Every structure is written in structure tokens, then in C-alpha cells.
């Protein structure tokens, strides 16, 4: 990665930060834990930025794969890694603070419950609500729910897609209502280890 | 997002992509904030609704009559014991982030030994159930043998390896039967209890798999035998 012969435009830290929303979505899907996602996203970005600075990643086309692999490694080593070191505060000028924010960075798990129940309540009828609870709460599969509720695939997809779309809208709306001062704060009280905070 | 991307997104979120396709989609996800928003929305629904129960989310919802554990679901909730429900979708899920070294380490840490049948009823006025304990402290190499009663409910006490900050998913696989799945928070000794109807368990070989998200953490084999036929069935 980042071969010596590459002469194209150099990767920048801003390029790395543009990967943060997708990185966080991936990590949250893998860990299903908001705090862990925040911590691992931060650690991944640090690792990738250091790699860019050291010239180990140079080609823009290789960036996503590099971010992806680092994220996978971070998740895979979750059980053996030491606890994150705590420092008093994240440096104001940190690159991490300049990342594009995603709605879920602002939420606690309890708030998500309220939002999810609100989305559930918005669904038009009892059948749609039953489908969502069957899928997300009971963990039933799409074929099981289709059979149980006598739905075809299109009907199933429409209801699930509507719920996901409304959840996205609610998350975005809630985030846009957040005070700007929250941006750039260290997630979940954890921050960069001291030897890495110069970013 | 074009129609193909939308199609792939749905398939990804529903766990219908194979390993290679899922990884390719995840690479696209890294580069596409618009797709990330929808993946986040799905995760938010899963996390948000995962903190509630069917009863509190939709009071009028009919019970899941097809779930083997449904008959004791109320008891399971009251005791904070996760009820095991079938999850055919799990069987299609791709293996992801699988580390053989990690799994081997976890298996050694578990030190699985022979399970034994305690025959101890669950107290209280909910339902009587039989406790089946998969012992991890005895012979490290033996396959645990679990003696099952002829009927009723079984509380399966099983070792569950954990990854920090992950609520593990435990999958019970049996030949010729639907997979059963439960989310479980192990106790301080690394065990979690699962309530399942005896009728949902088949005598013979079974496999317990533990996952964190979509990443397998450990797995081990067990054997279910009849307590009546084996002469077991009481606490050692």
C-alpha cells in the first residue's frame, strides 16, 4: 500500500475524516454499542492519519480499504486490548474535532429507545408495527415474518424501509437541534492516549 | 443512491449478502455518508427497540405462537433470563472478522467440561423448569453431555465468552431443527441462562456459538441425552 511510484494527488487528513460517517456506521453495526463505536472510530482515525502522515498510505483509492481493515482489526482485538487511557480533555485543535458529525454521536442508548418507539408509533397500522417489533425486537427473519404475516417481499421491504427512513429523519432532525458546542467533544469520556494526542 | 445500491443496502441490512459481497458493500459504506445514514438508522432501531419488549412496544401485539420459548417467555422476562427464539436468518449470516486464534484462546479460557443435569426446579410461581448446566470447570477436552427431562421447560446454563462492551448473541444449532438465538449478558462467572421449551430441543449433537455482532467469538459442541434413558437427571 502506498507504493513508492505513486505520483498522484497526496492523501490528506481531510480525506480520512470524510470516511468517519461510514466508519462509524460499520463499527456500530459490528459492535452494537454506541460508546464502543465512538472509541473505536477515534482510534481507527488516529491510526489511519498516522499511516497517512508516515506515507504508508498514499493513494486515495486505497484509503477506504485501509480504513476498513484497521476498523476490522480494532473490533477483532477488542477483547484483548487494554482500557483506553483517560486524559483531561481533547486538544481544541485536534483533527478529530473537525470530523463530519453523524447523528448517532449525540445520542445515549436511552434516547434511541424513545426515538425508536416514536418511529414505531408513527407507522400507519398495527400490522406494520407488528412487523417492526417482530424484526427488531423478537429477531425474526424476513422469511419468517413474511410467512407469519402473509406478506410478500415488496410489502416487507416497504415497511422496513419506511421505518429506517423515518428513523434517519428523526436522527438528523435531533442532531440539527443540538447545540454546536457539543461538536468536537470527546466521546464517552474517553480520548486519545497521551502519546497520540498531538494530532 | 442508485437502485442497485439501494438493493444491496437492503440485502446487507437483512443479512442476505455472503461474505465477499458484504465486505465489498462495507467498503462502499466507508466512502458513502448517505449510505451510512441508513445503516445507522437501522442500527438505531435495533439498539433502541432492543431495549424494550414486545409487550411495551405494542401492547396489542399477538404473542409469537411459533417460538418454542414463548410458553415461558413471561417467566424469562421476570427473571431477566433471555428466552431463546428461533432465528433462521442467523443460519445465513456470514462469518465476519473471524479470528481462529481468538476463538482458540476463548475456547481454552472456557475450559469446557462435561455438563451435568441438576434437576433443580426454578423457584417461584411462574413455571417449573429443569436446570441443565454446561460445566466448564471439569474435563477441558470432554464434550459436555446434557441430560434432558421428557418435557417442560429447560434452563440451560451455558458458558458465554464475551468481548468488552458487547452483548453476546448465543446461537444453539441442532441438526434437523431451526437454529435458536438469544442475546445474553453473562454473569461474573461467564455464564448465561437460557430458557427453552424441552420440545424445542432434540436429543443428539448440538453446537453452541457465541457471537459479538456478526463476529464469531467461540463455539463448542454439546450432546443432549434423555435423562430417563441415561439414568441421570438428578444433581450430582
Say whether pLDDT at B228 is over 70: yes
Grid cell of B136 as nine digits: 466448564
The reply to whether A8 falls in a domain is no
The reply to whether A7 falls in a domain is no
Q: Compute the average pLDDT of residues A171-187.
A: 52
pLDDT digits (tens, 9 = 90+) for A24-58: 999 999 888 888 888 889 889 988 888 888 888 88
The reply to whether A5 falls in a domain is no
Decide the pairing of beta strands B204-212 and B169-174: antiparallel
Nearest chain B residue to A112 by CA distance is: B48
Q: Which of B47, B85, B215 sits opposite A139 (nearest CB)?
A: B85
d(C-alpha B162, C-alpha B110), whole Å: 11
Q: Which of A29, A126, A141 sits opposite B39 (nearest CB)?
A: A29
- φ and ψ at residue A107, rounded to 5 degrees: -115, 145
Are residues A163 and A84 both part of a single domain? Answer: no
Please count the other Cβ atoms lying within 10 Å of the Cβ belonging to residue B50. Answer: 18
d(C-alpha B90, C-alpha B181), whole Å: 8
The reply to whether A4 falls in a domain is no
pLDDT digits (tens, 9 = 90+) for B70-81: 333 333 333 333
Are residues A74 and A164 both part of a single domain? Answer: no
Grid cell of A10 as nine digits: 497526496
Query: What value does the mean pLDDT of chain B take?
Result: 65
Query: If one looks up domain B68-230 in CATH, what number appears?
Result: 2.60.40
Quick one: how many helices (H) and strands (E) in chain B? Answer: 7, 10
**Which carries the bigger pLDDT value, residue B129 or residue A181?**
B129
Check residue B53 and give its pLDDT.
63
Decide the pairing of beta strands B145-148 and B116-121: unpaired
Residues of A in contact with B104 (CB under 8 A): none
CATH number at residue A122: 1.10.10.10
- φ and ψ at residue A92, rounded to 5 degrees: -55, -40
Nearest chain A residue to B73 by CA distance is: A138
Three-state secondary-structure class, residue A56: coil
d(C-alpha B97, C-alpha A83), whole Å: 21
The reply to whether A6 falls in a domain is no
Per the CB < 8 A criterion, the answer to whether A26 and A68 are in contact is yes
Please judge whether B215 and A75 are an interchain contact, meaning their C-beta atoms are less than 8 angstroms apart. Answer: yes
The number of distinct structural domains making up chain A is: 2
d(C-alpha A143, C-alpha B41), whole Å: 22
Nearest chain B residue to A65 by CA distance is: B27
The answer for B152, left when phi > 0, alpha when psi is -120 to 50, beta otherwise, is left
Are residues A128 and A166 both part of a single domain? Answer: yes
Say whether pLDDT at B124 is over 80: no
Q: What angle do CA A178, A179, A185 make, to 5 degrees?
A: 95
Say whether pLDDT at B88 is over 50: no
- Residue A178 C-alpha, separation from nearest chain B C-alpha, in angstroms: 17
Which residues neighbour A36 within 8 Å (Cβ) at sequence distance 6 or greater?
Answer: A27, A78, B164, B165, B166
Q: Closest Cα partner for B172 from B196, B191, B150?
A: B196
- Give me the domain span that covers residue A147: 106-176
Q: Which of A30, A143, A165 sits opposite B88 (nearest CB)?
A: A143
Per the CB < 8 A criterion, the answer to whether A2 and A58 are in contact is yes
ipTM of the complex: 0.74
Three-state secondary-structure class, residue B218: strand
Please judge whether A167 and B49 are an interchain contact, meaning their C-beta atoms are less than 8 angstroms apart. Answer: no
Are residues A55 and A84 both part of a single domain? Answer: yes
DSSP single-letter state for residue B70: G
A-B C-beta contacts closer than 8 Å:
211
d(C-alpha B147, C-alpha B125), whole Å: 25
Question: Which of B8, B47, B88, B103 is the best mutation test for A, with the most CBs of A within 10 A?
Answer: B47
Instruction: Give CA torsion, residues A64, A70, A73, A78, to 10 deg.
Output: -120
Three-state secondary-structure class, residue A32: coil
d(C-alpha B18, C-alpha B222), whole Å: 28
Per the CB < 8 A criterion, the answer to whether B15 and B87 are in contact is no
- Residue B167 C-alpha, separation from nearest chain A C-alpha, in angstroms: 8
Check residue B140 and give its pLDDT.
54
Are residues A28 and A73 both part of a single domain? Answer: yes
Q: Compute the average pLDDT of residues B118-137.
A: 55
Are residues A71 and A89 both part of a single domain? Answer: yes
Check residue B44 and give its pLDDT.
87
Please judge whether B87 and A141 are an interchain contact, meaning their C-beta atoms are less than 8 angstroms apart. Answer: yes
Please judge whether B163 and A34 are an interchain contact, meaning their C-beta atoms are less than 8 angstroms apart. Answer: no
The pLDDT > 70 percentage for chain A reads 72
Are residues A115 and A92 both part of a single domain? Answer: no
- Residue B196 C-alpha, separation from nearest chain A C-alpha, in angstroms: 15
Residues of A in contact with B164 (CB under 8 A): 36, 78-79, 81
Band of residue B123 on the pLDDT scale cut at 50, 70, 90: very low
Q: What end-to-end distance do the CA atoms of chain B give, in Å?
A: 61
Please count the other Cβ atoms lying within 10 Å of the Cβ belonging to residue B231. Answer: 10
d(C-alpha B226, C-alpha B208), whole Å: 19
Grid cell of A61 as nine digits: 483509492
Amino acid at each position: 500500500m502506498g507504493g513508492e511510484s505513486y505520483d498522484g494527488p497526496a492523501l490528506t487528513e481531510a480525506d480520512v475524516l470524510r470516511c468517519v460517517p461510514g466508519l462509524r456506521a460499520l463499527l456500530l453495526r459490528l459492535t452494537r454499542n454506541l460508546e464502543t463505536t465512538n472509541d473505536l472510530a477515534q482510534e481507527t482515525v488516529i491510526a489511519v492519519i498516522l499511516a497517512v502522515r508516515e506515507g504508508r498510505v498514499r493513494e486515495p483509492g486505497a484509503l477506504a480499504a485501509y480504513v476498513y481493515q484497521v476498523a476490522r482489526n480494532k473490533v477483532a482485538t477488542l477483547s484483548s486490548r487494554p482500557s483506553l487511557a483517560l486524559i483531561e480533555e481533547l486538544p481544541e485543535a485536534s483533527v478529530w474535532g473537525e470530523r463530519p458529525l453523524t447523528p448517532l454521536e449525540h445520542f445515549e442508548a436511552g434516547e434511541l429507545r424513545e426515538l425508536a418507539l416514536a418511529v414505531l408509533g408513527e407507522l400507519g397500522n398495527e400490522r406494520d408495527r407488528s412487523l417492526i417489533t417482530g424484526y427488531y425486537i423478537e429477531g425474526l427473519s424476513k422469511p419468517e415474518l413474511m410467512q407469519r404475516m402473509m406478506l410478500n417481499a415488496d410489502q416487507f421491504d416497504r415497511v422496513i424501509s419506511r421505518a429506517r427512513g423515518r428513523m434517519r429523519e428523526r436522527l438528523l432532525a435531533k442532531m440539527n437541534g443540538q447545540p454546536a458546542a457539543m461538536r468536537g467533544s470527546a466521546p464517552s469520556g474517553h480520548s486519545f492516549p497521551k502519546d497520540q494526542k498531538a494530532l | 443512491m442508485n437502485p442497485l445500491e439501494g438493493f444491496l443496502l437492503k440485502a446487507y441490512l437483512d443479512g442476505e449478502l455472503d461474505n465477499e459481497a458484504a465486505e465489498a458493500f462495507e467498503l462502499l459504506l466507508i466512502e458513502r455518508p448517505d449510505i451510512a445514514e441508513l445503516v445507522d438508522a437501522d442500527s438505531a432501531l435495533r439498539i433502541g427497540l432492543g431495549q424494550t419488549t414486545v409487550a411495551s412496544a405494542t401492547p396489542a401485539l399477538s404473542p409469537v405462537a411459533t417460538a418454542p420459548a414463548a410458553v415461558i417467555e413471561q417467566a424469562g422476562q421476570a427473571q431477566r433470563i433471555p428466552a431463546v427464539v428461533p432465528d433462521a436468518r442467523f443460519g445465513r449470516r456470514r462469518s465476519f472478522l473471524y479470528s481462529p486464534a481468538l476463538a482458540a484462546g476463548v475456547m481454552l479460557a472456557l475450559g469446557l467440561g462435561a455438563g451435568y443435569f441438576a434437576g433443580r426446579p426454578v423457584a417461584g410461581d411462574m413455571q417449573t423448569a429443569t436446570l441443565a448446566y454446561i460445566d466448564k470447570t471439569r474435563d477441558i477436552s470432554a464434550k459436555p453431555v446434557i441430560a434432558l427431562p421428557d418435557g417442560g421447560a429447560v434452563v440451560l446454563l451455558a458458558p458465554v465468552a464475551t468481548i468488552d462492551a458487547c452483548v453476546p448473541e448465543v446461537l444453539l444449532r441442532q441438526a434437523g431443527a431451526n437454529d435458536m438465538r438469544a442475546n445474553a449478558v453473562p454473569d461474573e462467572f461467564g455464564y448465561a441462562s437460557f430458557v427453552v421449551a424441552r420440545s424445542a430441543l432434540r436429543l443428539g449433537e448440538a453446537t453452541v456459538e457465541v457471537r459479538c455482532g456478526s463476529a464469531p467469538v467461540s463455539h463448542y459442541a454439546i450432546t443432549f441425552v434423555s435423562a430417563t434413558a441415561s439414568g441421570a437427571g438428578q444433581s450430582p
